[in-house]
Structure 1
């Protein structure tokens, strides 16, 4: 097995790879991989757009890829707390020896959160269950009784409520534990031991089938001690959902899309920053560019005035997009948003280093495009201060 240690957006590495492994790596979409034209049997590999760890297997050849983020792990964990529609806080410090390994850090934190959640015992709840019995218990299913037994009195087709630990919350937690243990990427020994203990605690709980949509859960007073562990479990299960078999190779791992991570952080943080301002904010708001409503657009962030008219629009871009023939695609895209929303200004927010701070006054349109740059490698409080500053500019309160 070959192990590749890469850093997000770093220059390409030239590594020796069997042809089958190189082709599987290239087709996986996890990294950019191309044959080295000068060195037969070598491939140029570059990590772009994803961080985490994955195992790619092609026949007898397999490659483990570990992709470290370009900012500290602790900052990535902070950004993950701003996933869209979800809010969780990770209070545990990241161990120093796991600072360069995102998967190990998340596994460590999840073990701590899950242990804390079940410290008082597993959560119980009522779950509806159907059974065939000769003893009356619960409610008779009249339709099934007639269809199956054709008027016979016994046995009975019943539905009753069980008070059990086999409920959605516990199923999500144990499935996340099993997912981490199943990943073919080495975790620290102490973390693996803690996960094994958790696996034993959830022994009577159903593990959710792979590939199916995750069941929804609702935050209540009764499951309050589970909230953080559940949200982190969802992160793990979604990040590990890359497991698939596209043709003659398999991919299995835990990856985070950095563009989506940045977009979620910026837009959710903007919404929070403007929560006290008049009006309301919408993420991924749908608008139409043409009179016939045939061309739909979906800006990352739109703030509306109390009367429902658009007040500001912003798009978050982790990196500058350079589609072939369209070197300023980000500006074109935001210009279309401004036209569709009838706004005189629009805002592009980049991760610092991707694009400079700039202002573009568009000819013949009366529209101004502002480019902002966020420095991610700074303490969270200062990062949120920068977000607040940009948010005030969005609504003209700078």
Structure 2
């Protein structure tokens, strides 16, 4: 059995390899790759539309992104999609081939910096039953739960404690990372030291929603560590597998990652212009049938729509696809955009592709619709990547205003967004 299998995200063929049946089944269950039986008891392992790494005992399987996106770029895309405040230096770690080692090193560094002055304390609202009065008595709960009883008392109070959401997230990520088998002893010892600094912090139940936290001046030093910890908790798992072996995986769908990143980045880039930007915009391709309303209509969810005066003005669609050797993209994408433009009565749509190249305009025959192909190279430095998205937003809104002619923009009643008169 090989010790490492490395695949390209777009790879369509690979040599059959020898695997234990149990290992093959476990590898298939991770969703990172497809595992199919081949001749002679061998197995064919191919990408399954995701990237990342899986460690099963002594076997490491890696699927690398098509643009050779390094760890810091991948984590930046993941982090920025969740939090636009995500900064490029939040994910500056060791750019190694071993993703788990790089994640472990990066998390350790950020946690050590965050806890350099000790664990953060904060106020937590607590409701419990006590034999003495603390805070205020919850009269309603006391009468409902203990009618006629004087003790214990149902009370509520704010406790100044180390057991706050920020520390719970850090400790959960540290303990999860400590289960990964490919970490060096040095990193494992440093993680154990970080964990000891979080003594008294309660554990998060596996699979439970992460507790909410709000960035502030008080927890500013925790920011980079928290953002990386959330990525690890959302995308990585480590659990007992075959016998005494630990199965560790970090698996992400790059198409979803790219779509989420473009949606968030465009929303931020268009924020300075009048209007509102929404992802997964609900629309209908056809008119409602008489007597049926919207029940039988063809529903569509457009990736990104920027509306002005609550009317769709600009349409975007993010595609994580590779161009052909001639530099063209699948024609189905253009059919889809033509349908969006027709249904939303928008004359121009923007196809945002993950790749290098120049913008291209395609005028659709016998229509007033134009489709703009706009590549965004995800292998760029994060700052250059965000600048590219800002260029896209500026050009898209600039062309919209040119079509509409000189107009006077006024704020919407809500205040932040605006419209045209």
TM-score, normalization by structure 1: 0.82
Query: Matched residue of 1:272: which SS?
Result: helix
Does the alignment pair 1:235 with 2:238? no
What CA distance in whole angstroms lies between the structure 1 residues aligned with 2:354 and 2:108? 31
Query: Matched residue of 1:215: which SS?
Result: coil
Assess if the C-alpha contact under 8 Å between 2:354 and 2:378 holds in 1. Answer: yes
Does the alignment pair 1:178 with 2:181? no
Superposed counterparts of 1:196-345, under 5 Å: 196-240=192-236, 252-292=248-288, 293=294, 294-305=297-308, 307-319=309-321, 328-345=331-348
Query: Matched residue of 1:217: which SS?
Result: coil
Query: Matched residue of 2:116: which SS?
Result: coil
**What do the CA deviations read for 1:80-126 (whole angstroms, capped 9, x no partner)?**
34224443124268555x42233332332222222222222222222
Specify the alignment match of 1:135 in structure 2.
132
Matched residue pairs, number?
381
Query: Matched residue of 1:107: which SS?
Result: helix
Flag the 1:396–1:92 CA change in 2: closer, same or farther, 3 A. Answer: closer
**What do the CA deviations read for 1:128-169 (whole angstroms, capped 9, x no partner)?**
334444333222344554556553434434333321111111
Flag the 1:194–1:67 CA change in 2: closer, same or farther, 3 A. Answer: farther
What CA distance in whole angstroms lies between the structure 2 residues aligned with 1:169 and 1:396? 42
Shift of residue 334 of structure 1?
1.9
What CA distance in whole angstroms lies between the structure 1 residues aligned with 2:25 and 2:34? 11
Task: For structure 2, list consecutive stretches of 5 or more residues without a partner in the other structure.
Answer: 289-293, 324-329, 403-421
Query: Matched residue of 1:395: which SS?
Result: helix
What CA distance in whole angstroms lies between the structure 2 residues aligned with 1:389 and 1:91? 22
Does the alignment pair 1:113 with 2:110? yes
Specify the alignment match of 2:70 in structure 1.
72
Specify the alignment match of 2:408 in structure 1.
none
Q: CA RMSD in A?
A: 3.3
Query: Matched residue of 2:353: which SS?
Result: strand
Specify the alignment match of 2:419 in structure 1.
none
Query: Matched residue of 1:236: which SS?
Result: helix
TM-score, normalization by structure 2: 0.78
Specify the alignment match of 1:392 in structure 2.
394
Query: Matched residue of 1:214: which SS?
Result: coil
What CA distance in whole angstroms lies between the structure 2 residues aligned with 1:206 and 1:102? 28
**What do the CA deviations read for 1:32-72 (whole angstroms, capped 9, x no partner)?**
22223xx4122221224322222458xxxx85423333223
Query: Matched residue of 2:236: which SS?
Result: helix
Assess if the C-alpha contact under 8 Å between 2:322 and 2:354 holds in 1. Answer: no
**What do the CA deviations read for 1:306-328 (whole angstroms, capped 9, x no partner)?**
x222221111111269xxxxx64
